[in-house]
Chain A
Amino acid sequence: MLDSQIEYIPVLIMLAICSAAIGGMLTLNFLLGPKRKNAIKNAPFESGEKQIHSPKRRFSVKFYLVGIFFIVFDIEAVFLFPWATLYRQWLRDPAFAWVAFGEMFLFLGILSLGLVYVWRRGALEWD
């Protein structure tokens, strides 16, 4: 097993302990709480009326747009992380410094262009 993988063993242990703690609390609640169920009590809350529409329907396409933007920008952000940690190291190398700097300009430029594009298309107007 790699050293970097061993670091995740405590995380897994933590996952197990936390889940167990939550499971324990819920079980305790299940054991201690009263159980008096009836259809009206279990009906979903809709301001004291019957539901007109079930919630499991298509929802507005506007929300889908948010999802698309997230995927676009978050994945681009992910590319920035490895670059960011190495940036200073590259700068210290006089031959490579301007390349690293120019790369950053280019990448951020493209990212900003994408943002400007969706902005100008009116996709960032939410109402």
Chain B
Amino acid sequence: MSNALLLNDKSRGSKPGYAPSVDESDLHTEHMVLNMGPSHPATHGTTKFILKLEGETVADVDIHIGYLHRGFEKMCESGTWAQVLPYTDRLNYSSPLCNNVGYVLAVEKLLGIEVPDRAKYIRALVCEMSRITDHFTAIGAGALELGGYTPFLYGVQAREMFYELVEELTGARLTTAFTRIGGVKHDLTSDFWEHVDAVLPEVERLMIDVDKLLTNNRIFYDRMVDVGTISQDDAISYGFTGICLRSTGVGYDVRKDYPYLIYDRLDFDVPVGHRGDNYDRYLCRVEEIRQSIRMMKQIREQMEPGPIAVDDWGVVLPPKDAVYNSIEAMIAHFKLIMEGVKVPRGEVYSYTEAGNGELGFYLVSDGSGRPYRLRIRPPCFALMSGLKKMIVGKLLADIVPTYDTINMIGGENDR
């Protein structure tokens, strides 16, 4: 609404000769203060927005997080290094494998070991599959909360296909715990690639459907463009990473800039936006799905047979056959289970590109078999701190898509 119609318009009052006939200070609008969340459909039970509304406009917002806090970091200190791994599944629960990989890379960095090539390829493969499921969830949920139930279900259907692949590999959809310190749990199943071949055309078809329903849909476009905008400088100073940073035009991607695993051997592009709004984040996600599929194909070509874990019984469990038949393996097995991997004293920060951005693990070891301190840098936390800047001054309805495109995941954010 233009200023001309606001009753307590300052510029009119300051004109010479203009004397208000009524006391205009009494003609104000009262703000409505509203709890949006935690038990609200858009906030998934994990966030509370205390909104100060002027009509439908958000005049101010107070964001409360922590509803899903479960003492993750403290919990990790009581387990051995290997026992921490299943906890990491529950960090970003839409891409658990990225967390698994991030964690073991940190421990291996502290141990100073290098895993065999095949293990690296398998890790990169599962990471990319998880990234795809993460992005499909974010795109679908975003559409759902704008009222587009159909694109949501198409997204979920495509995601389901990847979940089935993950299930085939790891035996679980969410609680994967697939990686191991020093390698991965087991090799690809013999007909894994055939299943991938069967899935990819279906996914392609669904992506075209989602694309038709959303990308050039005028309503969707209007709801997303210039909503939840953040400038490049703000994004950097808030510590944004991942899609949210790239949507502002900064092409920072850990996989490209500080390659880990075998990402330096893969040919892929990092999509970058220029407006830093919801629509760019949506487009970046769609493109990253395509790039991840492209990477999966390259991994298939480059992968060669070989061991999937280091040959060191101090780190990796010996084969069952050896445990039953040799005393050395038996002792190694016992010590690994009871005492855990003896990670040398020291501290390390290791970071990978997870679904939402840079997922960092900061580990401190005192040389015993358990972490002395384990700190996680969840990508969402930084994004949530910038959320206020993205929604104040916009409409109430804009909170929903903005909150969805930053893809706040309670498990990771609240730990």
Binding site for B on A (CB under 8 A): 46-49, 51-53, 55, 57-63, 65, 121-123, 125-127
User: What total count of A-B pairs have CB within 8 Å?
Assistant: 65
Find the B residue at minimum CB distance from A118. Answer: B5
Q: Which bucket holds chain B's interface residue count? A: 20 to 34
Q: Which residues of chain A are within 8 angstroms of B37 by Cβ–Cβ distance?
A: 47
Known: A51-B35, A65-B1. 17 other contacts (CB 8 A): A47-B39, A47-B43, A48-B38, A48-B39, A52-B50, A53-B32, A53-B34, A55-B32, A59-B55, A60-B29, A60-B55, A61-B27, A63-B55, A121-B5, A123-B2, A123-B5, A127-B1
Please tell me if the beta carbons of B35 and A52 are within 8 angstroms of each other in the complex. yes
B215 in the interface (beta carbon within 8 A): no
B304 in the interface (beta carbon within 8 A): no
B40 in the interface (beta carbon within 8 A): yes
CB-based closest 10 A-B pairs: A122-B2, A60-B55, A48-B39, A49-B35, A47-B40, A52-B33, A62-B55, A58-B30, A47-B35, A53-B33
Q: Which residues of chain A are within 8 angstroms of B57 by Cβ–Cβ distance?
A: 127
The distance in angstroms between the C-alpha atoms of A53 and B43, with both chains bound, is 20
Give the secondary structure class of A's interface: loop
Q: Smallest Cβ distance from B269 to chain A, in angstroms? A: 36
Please tell me if the beta carbons of B29 and A125 are within 8 angstroms of each other in the complex. no
Find the B residue at minimum CB distance from A62. Answer: B55
Find the B residue at minimum CB distance from A126. Answer: B1
Q: Smallest Cβ distance from B414 to chain A, in angstroms? A: 16
The contact of A59 among B5, B32, B50, by CB within 8 Å, is: B32
The distance in angstroms between the C-alpha atoms of A63 and B55, with both chains bound, is 8
A59-B29 in contact given A47-B38, A49-B35, A52-B34 (Cβ < 8 Å): yes
A122-B34 in contact given A47-B40, A52-B50 (Cβ < 8 Å): no
Q: Smallest Cβ distance from B150 to chain A, in angstroms? A: 27
Q: Smallest Cβ distance from A63 to chain B, in angstroms? A: 7
The distance in angstroms between the C-alpha atoms of A48 and B46, with both chains bound, is 12
The distance in angstroms between the C-alpha atoms of A81 and B341, with both chains bound, is 86
Q: Smallest Cβ distance from A49 to chain B, in angstroms? A: 4
Q: Which residues of chain B are within 8 angstroms of A59 by Cβ–Cβ distance?
A: 29-30, 32, 55
B36 in the interface (beta carbon within 8 A): yes
The distance in angstroms between the C-alpha atoms of A57 and B30, with both chains bound, is 7
| Contact digits for B1-19, partner A, Cβ 8 Å, 1 yes 0 no | 1111101000000000000
Please tell me if the beta carbons of A125 and B34 are within 8 angstroms of each other in the complex. no
Find the B residue at minimum CB distance from A46. Answer: B35
Please tell me if the beta carbons of A62 and B32 are within 8 angstroms of each other in the complex. no
A58-B48 in contact given A47-B35, A127-B395 (Cβ < 8 Å): no
The distance in angstroms between the C-alpha atoms of A121 and B3, with both chains bound, is 9
B residues 47-72 with Cβ under 8 Å of A? 48, 50, 54-57
Please tell me if the beta carbons of B5 and A65 are within 8 angstroms of each other in the complex. yes
The contact of A122 among B4, B39, B40, by CB within 8 Å, is: B4
A-B pairs with beta carbons under 8 Å apart, 12 shown: A47-B43, A48-B35, A48-B39, A52-B35, A53-B34, A58-B29, A59-B55, A61-B29, A62-B56, A65-B5, A121-B5, A127-B1
Q: Smallest Cβ distance from A53 to chain B, in angstroms? A: 5
